């Protein structure tokens, strides 16, 4: 029932998911409801946004996990700020960081914080400064599957690790049957899909498996897929599309891709009293335990992937917007600051739950709001 509700909530943003660059018209949204309801809501949202000196086109790229969130934010921002266009390419965290380090974008979106060597490299484009990680959107990484006749599936971290490491190959494997004694599991092959591009979502899955299934997942938590076997697709949208069209498939991506594609998601057996569903509320319970480990204006977080807290969904990610603390390009700085000021605001964070994401804990969001105006 919860999954059906999530699908209904996420369906409202389904039209925002596009392949390639996400470019939204500055004209605002179309009115698709009777009596102009859509225009009233758009005007209300736009009325709370401060455009400051934002102008022209802002290029950004990176995490496909946050693509749907950026879509909602950009739509609202452009409706409020005449002549502004937010162009976000969901090419994966690794690609986004590389484009930003090459100086071609105003900011990057990444599901993992900059590495020390990337911070050092950023000093070349951040004149007098360096790249900083600004957490902006959180949420669960859903494990979604396509198995006819199975609408409720529970897995634990060791079993997930063995599936994606090609060690559990059949849906009626003893380990899966033990966790799902009442399910009618077929004897068919498991078709496991992973990301082909460098992805912070992959890295967060790796961090989760490395903590919660340390005996069964021996790989480093890198953005590139580490295990042999399986099948691959580009971006969260690509993996979701493959899972939807392939009987016996399983894959991982941000929750809104599961809800938009009407895919069932796995409940995690974390060791708590009951399996935990991938929902924004359950992800928020896990994200609330995050600790800031960055220094200065850097707000990199440490997440607890192995929590057994009741109702906490530990397979989570936080997407950072990455910009220079000092030395941002003069032509893009005003728009970057204005847009990020909105995304971090109460209004910007307030639209996330309806889009299938978890808003930042208030303590962390407040720190982000303090830092963005100081970017120079």
Give the single-character DSSP code of 157: H
Residue 40: pLDDT over 50: no
Q: Do 70 and 88 meet the contact criterion of CB atoms below 8 Å apart?
A: yes
Mean pLDDT value across residues 90-115 = 96
Name the H helices within the chain: 2-11, 37-47, 67-80, 93-101, 116-122, 157-164, 174-179, 200-212, 235-245, 255-260, 280-287, 333-344, 346-350, 362-371
Residue 366: pLDDT over 80: yes
Confidence category of residue 11, pLDDT binned at 50, 70, 90: very low
Task: Supply angle C-alpha 97, 298, 321, rounded to 5.
Answer: 40
Mind listing the pLDDT tens digit for each residue in 266-290?
Answer: 999 999 999 999 999 999 999 988 9
Mind listing the pLDDT tens digit for each residue in 186-226?
Answer: 999 999 999 999 999 999 999 999 999 999 999 999 999 99
Q: Give the percent of the chain with pLDDT over 90.
A: 84
Domains and CATH numbers, the chain: 2-137+321-374 (3.40.190.10), 141-285 (3.40.190.10)
pTM attached to this predicted model: 0.80
pLDDT at residue 318, rounded to an integer: 95
Mean pLDDT value across residues 305-319 = 95
Instruction: Quote the mean pLDDT of the chain.
Output: 89
Confidence category of residue 47, pLDDT binned at 50, 70, 90: low
pLDDT at residue 355, rounded to an integer: 86
pLDDT at residue 119, rounded to an integer: 97
Q: Do 185 and 177 meet the contact criterion of CB atoms below 8 Å apart?
A: yes
Mean pLDDT value across residues 26-39 = 34
Scan for tokens 């359950």, then name that residue.
282
Residue 55: pLDDT over 90: yes
């Amino acid at each position: 029932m919860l999954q059906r509700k999530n699908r209904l909530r996420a369906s409202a943003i389904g039209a925002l998911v596009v392949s390639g660059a996400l470019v939204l018209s500055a004209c605002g949204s179309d009115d698709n409801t009777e009596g102009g309801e859509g225009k009233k809501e758009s005007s209300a949202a736009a009325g709370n946004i401060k455009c400051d000196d934002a102008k022209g086109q802002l290029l950004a790229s990176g995490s496909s996990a946050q693509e749907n969130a950026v879509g909602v934010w950009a739509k609202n921002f452009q409706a409020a700020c005449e002549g502004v266009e937010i162009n976000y390419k969901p090419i994966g965290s690794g690609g986004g960081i590389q484009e930003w380090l090459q100086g071609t974008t105003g900011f990057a979106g990444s599901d993992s914080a900059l590495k020390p060597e990337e911070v050092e490299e950023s000093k070349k484009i951040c004149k007098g400064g360096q790249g900083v990680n600004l957490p902006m959107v959180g949420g669960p990484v859903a494990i979604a599957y396509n198995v006819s006749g199975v609408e409720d599936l529970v897995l634990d971290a060791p079993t997930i690790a063995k599936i994606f490491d090609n060690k559990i190959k059949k849906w009626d494997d003893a380990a899966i049957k033990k966790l799902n004694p009442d399910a009618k599991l077929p004897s068919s092959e498991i078709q496991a899909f992973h990301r082909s591009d460098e992805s912070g979502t992959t890295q967060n899955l790796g961090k989760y498996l490395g903590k919660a299934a340390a005996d069964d997942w021996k790989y480093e938590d890198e953005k590139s897929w580490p295990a042999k076997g399986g099948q691959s697709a580009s971006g969260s949208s690509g993996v979701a599309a493959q899972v939807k069209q392939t009987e016996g498939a399983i894959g991982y991506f941000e929750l809104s891709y599961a809800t938009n594609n009407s895919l069932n998601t796995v409940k995690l057996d974390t060791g708590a009293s009951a399996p935990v569903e991938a929902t924004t509320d359950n992800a928020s319970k896990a994200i609330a335990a995050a600790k800031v480990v960055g220094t200065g204006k850097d707000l990199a977080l440490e997440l607890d992937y192995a929590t057994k807290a009741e109702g906490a969904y530990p397979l989570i990610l936080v997407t950072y917007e990455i910009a220079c603390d000092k030395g941002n390009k003069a032509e893009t700085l005003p728009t970057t600051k204005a847009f990020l000021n909105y995304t971090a605001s109460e209004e910007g964070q307030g639209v996330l739950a309806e889009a299938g994401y978890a808003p930042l804990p208030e303590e962390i969001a407040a720190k982000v709001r303090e830092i963005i105006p100081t970017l120079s």
